[in-house]
Structure 1
Amino acid sequence: MYNNRTQQAGGKNRFYQRRKVCRFCVDKDLNIDYKTPKALRQFITERGKIIPRRITGTCAKHQRQLTVAIKQSRQIALLPFVGRPMY
């Protein structure tokens, strides 16, 4: 009668996910640098958008550093502004 996700009939679905941890805070050896596009590529989508911190789990301080590094890397053409065309 009741679904596993709902507590009562007609109740909201409550899906709890484990809190993401900033990988730069955990591992102090990781550096955010605009000269390493391979590392920065993990934080942009196929279309070239910067992935938000609620998805990646980075803290606000490191997300700001990531954003600046990605934008600098785009300016000197190490990363693309847009992704590959679909056609």
Structure 2
Amino acid sequence: MAFKKKFTPKKKFCRFCANKNLPVDYKRPDILKDFITDRGKIIARRITGTCAKCQRRLTLEIKRARQMALLYYTATHSAEHLKKM
């Protein structure tokens, strides 16, 4: 009888706490896009691995970027925008 190895998930860490030079800022939509699904939803911290403090800041900055039209609210908005160009 063969024994199955138990899957041990990789330890998640906060990218912003690990790298202090990586700012959470609404002016950096390239970084913020990593934390948004293709449908425009903000990804939960249990999936991304960010700490609670950074997740709150991240959520606030994503919402600011959406207000400033640096990020799209939904995937349909991005598709409509690309058709116009």
TM-score category (smaller protein): 0.7 to 0.9
Q: Give the aligned CA root-mean-square deviation in angstroms.
A: 1.6
User: Equivalent of 2:40, from 45, 48, 52?
Assistant: 48
Structure 1, unaligned stretches of length 5 or more?
6-13
After superposition, give the CA deviation of every residue in 1:24-67 in whole Å (9 maximum; x if it has no partner): 11111110000111110010000000011111110000000000
Identity of aligned residues (%): 55
Determine the structure 1 residue equivalent to 2:65.
73
- Provide the rounded CA distance (Å) in 1 between the counterparts of 2:63 and 2:16: 19
TM-score relative to the length of structure 2? 0.81
Shifted more, 29-38 versus 76-85: the winner is 76-85
Counterpart residue type for residue 55 of structure 1: I
- Provide the rounded CA distance (Å) in 1 between the counterparts of 2:51 and 2:12: 9
Structure 2, unaligned stretches of length 5 or more?
80-85
Q: CA deviation at 1:71?
A: 0.2
